[in-house]
Structure 1
Amino acid sequence: MSETGRLLLLRHGATEWSTSGRHTGSTDVPLTEVGEEQARGASRVLHRVLEGEPALVAVSPRQRAQRTARLAGLGVPVADGGLGGGEPVVLEDLAEWDYGAYEGLTTPQIREQRGDDWRVFRDGVAPGGQGQPPGEQLEQVAARCERVLERVRPALGRGDVVLVAHGHVLRVLAAVWLEAGPQAGAQLLLDTAAVCVLDAEHGVPGVRRWNLTPGLLT
């Protein structure tokens, strides 16, 4: 790797569904008041860890990610107190995992239906039926993340790149960045509105900072 910038990940702030543990893929739920405050707090983290104005800001097509980006100051001109980075680019490949028949369900509910200790990174999802999202397996999510990385790598030659998206897709993306296999995303726990910094040293991809929130800044 020859990038000079780092890849920063920002998960969206809290929603009613994320707070209750419901799997939220294609359902376009808004941030709660707490989520909006978390997004504003993410701005303080980004101000500390960004090395200059972002070379690129890319966001998920879902409103919860786009609202988080805006409240965090991404795409807002530096002259207006924001972080800059230009108008965020919407990437469909940054959408959350499509949970199919499990959309809107909590893990305990899914396990009760299946009668086992279901884990999304290990067992995947059941295809959606009529009127439900089709569902997506881990390898398909990983392929989307590969496309995202291919899309943003040129911008890393100019500086930091910020991606604003969702918990599971960002965990898969980090695992793909690390060349560890997408299953490794299961071990990369990520809170709402947390910031992560992915980097490379001597051509080896790595994690510089993970799951940063305002209270964890040092």
Structure 2
Amino acid sequence: MATGMLILVRHGQSQWNLENRFTGWTDVPLTDQGRAEARAAGEALRGLHIDRAFTSELSRAQETLRIILSVTGQEDVPVSHDAALNERSYGDLQGLNKAETAQHIGEAQVYAWRRTFRGRPPGGESLEDTQARVLPYYRAAIEPHLRIGETVLVVSHGNTLRALVMVLDEIPEAALPELSIPTGVPRCYRVDEAGVIRDRYSL
């Protein structure tokens, strides 16, 4: 039975992560710490053959992927970029400081926008909206490679990966607010030829 490996990595710390700002679709760079996190992810994956990689159209994810592939000595891995893997859009909140926004609008409202499945910030996407674009892309573009036994690396964003992990780990909506995806930590899944998750672990 062919068993593929799916590796999910959230990009390293970005400048707006550091500044505690809503980032969303704004294309901000990694910090030095973010690059160090990407190198650490590469070290964790050293010795593991990667067949192909997928990432978003945002530079913080693309740079993280380049660093990982460089550290593992696999710069020639085929890479696909797609907006379906972009971070969730925070709409009118993008660029605002999270703590200051909570003070002005209320912590409960900001919490609902950030952590719940259906909370949609003004002009932006809910996690449900994000899942509606991420999951079909996963099923159509990524899962077929796993079903034939390939090892696939996906470098994306915190909310994008939360939306996907919710499905992969069968996390109920009520428990979703507790799910966090740390930067630069590989999250691995063994996937059989039917697309069923057989094992999961972090490196």
Shorter-chain TM range is: 0.7 to 0.9
Tell me the TM-score normalised to structure 1 length.
Answer: 0.78
The amino acid across from 1:56 in the alignment is R
- The answer on whether the counterparts of 1:171 and 1:186 sit within 8 Å (CA) in structure 2 is no
- The answer on whether the counterparts of 1:15 and 1:32 sit within 8 Å (CA) in structure 2 is yes
- The answer on whether the counterparts of 2:135 and 2:164 sit within 8 Å (CA) in structure 1 is yes
The change in CA–CA distance for 1:116 and 1:84 in structure 2 (over 3 A counts) is: closer
Q: Matched residue of 1:190: which SS?
A: coil
Cα deviation, residue 184, structure 1: 4.5
Cα deviation, residue 27, structure 1: 0.7
The Cα offsets for residues 155-198 of structure 1, whole Å up to 9 and x where unpaired, read as: 10231111001111111111122233566543232222121112
Map 1:41-120; keep pairs closer than 5 Å. Answer: 41-47=40-46, 50=48, 53-73=49-69, 82-83=73-74, 86-117=77-108, 118-119=110-111, 120=114
Map 1:180-191; keep pairs closer than 5 Å. Answer: 180-181=171-172, 184-191=175-182
The Cα offsets for residues 1-57 of structure 1, whole Å up to 9 and x where unpaired, read as: x86112111111112211222121111011112211221121111126x3xx22320
Q: Matches of 2:200 and 2:173 in 1, distance apart?
A: 19
1:155 paired residue number: 145
Map 1:30-41; keep pairs closer than 5 Å. Answer: 30-41=29-40
- The answer on whether the counterparts of 1:152 and 1:161 sit within 8 Å (CA) in structure 2 is yes
Which of the numbers 122, 127, 140 marks the counterpart of 2:122?
127
Q: Percent identity?
A: 33
The change in CA–CA distance for 1:84 and 1:208 in structure 2 (over 3 A counts) is: farther
Cα deviation, residue 108, structure 1: 2.3
The amino acid across from 2:56 in the alignment is S
The amino acid across from 1:28 in the alignment is D
Q: After TM superposition, which residue ranges in structure 1, 4 or more long, deviate above 4 angstroms? A: 181-185, 200-204
Q: Matched residue of 1:35: which SS?
A: helix
Q: Matched residue of 1:161: which SS?
A: strand
Q: Matched residue of 2:4: which SS?
A: coil
- The answer on whether the counterparts of 2:54 and 2:153 sit within 8 Å (CA) in structure 1 is yes
Q: Matches of 2:199 and 2:120 in 1, distance apart?
A: 28
